[in-house]
Chains A and B, each alone.
Chain A
């Protein structure tokens, strides 16, 4: 049973009316009382409802343009890369994997990895992209390859800013490869889980869990649990050990 004093504190808390010390003390109580936390959640809904009582006002179009411009990542890959085209699909996939393996051995693609670790060397990325496009054009001209997608995932949480993840996806074969470097191991009772965003489905589709080696690296093949029609985004979340059918934990990396 929550007394009036705590109802009052909860009301003032959701309206940002507690002083810093009161707020800290109340948050301490919140952590130890599920009942109080439940009341706060309900009062937050009521407070938010106050916000929705306001008559909408359409913002100027320039605001939307500015927001979309601001959230654009430097050098972010936005489109499916028409990597290889072939009548021999299996060979094409193998060729794609070989190209991914090449990332480990070719100096310029090592530079590409470094970019992903820091996410700051946009000029280098542009140069690398140009080199890759040149190589792709050359491969296309040979007309040996099918269409693959490469996605580079960026960290959404600072802890993983040094992590580097590349996903190679073959939509026709419905299989892919993930290459991870510099990722810290998750807590003992957690796993990393890979997700594929496909607008066909309301929720991201699980592509399975993976575990990094002590070196922070892993390279693994994956198969999403549902047919993927158009993969727009790949993401990694931290989930309970063994994974979950629908993501619940925080998304830590994502990319298109």
Chain B
């Protein structure tokens, strides 16, 4: 799927430009298009749907207020948005961990990344891109996949990841580096 002829990307760019101009109808359309993906992401990080609702709301309001800072030349709108929403969810995980010391408990829970759990309306929300990413992940060495998924979804520090995986810190960093570079290579020109 190349960027120049991707209608989904064109639509996102158009909506983002209108959102930047304060167009609430465009914001609503963007919400309808992507809230399922973003809520799924937040749920998978927080493991708590009520708290995920709070973060989803907070993140969408933040998006509305900060849309002006998006620069098309820096990347695709959805990539930018996903990282913002992930950051908001991770912030919440870290705040929760600070308050309740639940990091270890959260780390012991299974990573839901590739499973179907939590799916709502899968038929309506099916996404070709998701399958491309899952395929790329499935072809990656398991230790690298585990490292980047752990890093992406857990909100732990480098040291905590090292402790939870029972690996030296240097090994964790190397696996994250190799995993992310491999994912970049696998997805090049496909998204």
Using CB atoms and an 8 Å cutoff, list the residues of chain A in contact with chain B: 4, 7-8, 11-12, 14-17, 19, 41-60, 62-64, 66-68, 70-71, 154, 156-157, 195, 197, 199, 202-204, 232-233, 235, 247-248, 250-252, 254-256
Contacts and interface: CB of A to CB of B under 8 A. Distances in A.
A51 B116 contact: no
Contacts of A60: 53
Contact of A4 (B86, B116, B119, B177): B177
Contact of B68 (A66, A250, A255): A250
B107 interface: no
B173 to A, nearest CB: 5
A248 B17 CA distance: 9
A contact face: mostly helix, strand, loop, or mixed? mixed
Given A45-B184, A50-B113, A58-B125, A195 B120 contact: no
Nearest to B39: A59
Contact of A63 (B10, B13, B57, B65): B57
Contacts of A46: 180, 183-184, 187
B87 A53 contact: no
15 contacts: A49-B183, A49-B191, A52-B133, A53-B114, A53-B137, A54-B40, A54-B112, A55-B119, A56-B40, A63-B57, A203-B14, A204-B17, A232-B23, A235-B22, A256-B23
B95 interface: no
B130 A233 contact: no
A197 B23 contact: yes
A54 B43 CA distance: 10
Contact of B37 (A12, A56, A195): A56
A197 B83 contact: no
Nearest to A247: B17
Interface in B98-134: 112-122, 124-125, 127, 129-130, 133-134
Most B CB atoms within 10 A — which of A7, A156, A199, A248?
A: A156
Contacts of B112: 54
Given A46-B183, A50-B113, A199-B25, 9 more contacts: A45-B184, A50-B148, A53-B113, A53-B133, A55-B118, A57-B119, A58-B124, A233-B18, A233-B23
Contacts of B17: 202-204, 247
Given A68-B28, A250-B69, A50 B133 contact: yes
Contacts of B157: 17, 19
Contacts of A45: 75-76, 79, 184, 187, 191
